[in-house]
Amino acid sequence: MSQLSDSTFYFFLSTPAYFLAMFFYLLTIAFPNRPRPRAGTGTREALGIAAAPVSAALPRPRAEGLSWYALARAATGLGVLLSTVGIVLRTFELGHASNWALTVFLPVTTTYETLTFMAWIIPLAYLFLERRYRFPGVGAIVTGIAFTMLAAAASPVIAPRAVAPVVPALQSYWLVIHVIFLMIGIALFTTGFGASLLYLWKRRRGENPELLAKIEELAYKANALGFPFYGIGGLIFGSIWAKEAWGSYWEWDPKETAMLIAWLAYAFYLHARLLFGPRDVRVAWISIGAYLMVLYTWIGINYFVGGLHSFT
């Protein structure tokens, strides 16, 4: 097996793992585990003597035994693990090709590498947030996005995966700092995007307010955490790296400009949440629109607009 196929083999394995995770999350939604009433409470509730607390209406994945939710989390973890191995192997492959210090280099310089890297870090970020906010609907969206990214990376037309030396302008430790911060921000924004979509769907279905508040809280926490990572990585570290590579902190390159607009869109989201209130439907739509701008900045610019970042 060639060095190239060593890493892509693990990415290929993680692709069906994410698909299964998405499938199991959807089964969790279709067949929820309803909490059983305690003995004797059914008759009392029927007589109107006692009412079940509102929190009982929240979906709670089964804590014991095997469940669709447990399978979904296991499949997500397996996908993250396999992608981790693929990223490590790809790092060594690129290090050998460019003779660049492996301690400051990661596979994040081409469309193929960013797609596979994001398919690793997005579910990883979600797994950390899922420990507190267990919404299978968000899990289905997140793992579906990771699956789509790996499926796109498997196409040589969309994302050529040949190992090539790193261009001189990219050979800097600022590459890792700049891109890693940006990708952590995008990974958190992805969870916020999924939670905003789920919020709008649940609101349309007339779910109880406590459940909606929890979903909106997840969207806010993810977006608020991603906001400084995206801004610092793009606007600050990116400018420092641009000065080192091109001699200027800011060139109004299409990707730089789009990134600034995307960051301001999330600043508008945070302001709108304070202005309109967390449960206002406009806030969720702003979150979704800001994420679509992030996706265009990251991927769309590469295919539709030229510029200094055309190599990514």
Residue that the structure tokens 């958190």 belong to: 188
Query: Is residue 246's pLDDT more than 60?
Result: yes
* CA–CA distance, 61 with 210 (Å, rounded to integer): 17
In sequence order, the 6+-apart residues with CB closer than 8 A to the CB of 49 are none
Domain ranges of the chain: 3-304
Most confident by average pLDDT, 25-34, 122-131, 156-165, 264-273: 264-273
Residue 215 scores a pLDDT above 70: yes
Helices 111-130, 173-204: crossing angle, 10 deg rounding = 50
Contact 98, 166 (CB under 8 A): yes
Amino acid letter for position 15: T
Burial of residue 14 (CB within 10 Å: 0-12, 13-18, 19+) is buried
DSSP state of 65: S
pLDDT in tens, 75-97: 999 999 999 999 988 888 777 55
- 217 vs 300, higher pLDDT: 217
The pLDDT assigned to 198 comes to: 94
Average predicted confidence (pLDDT) for the chain: 81
At residue 305, the pLDDT reads: 65
Amino acid 56: pLDDT: 40
Mean of the pLDDT values across residues 212-216?
A: 93
- Residue with token string 């870090």: 121
d(CA 37, CA 274): 38
d(CA 295, CA 3): 30
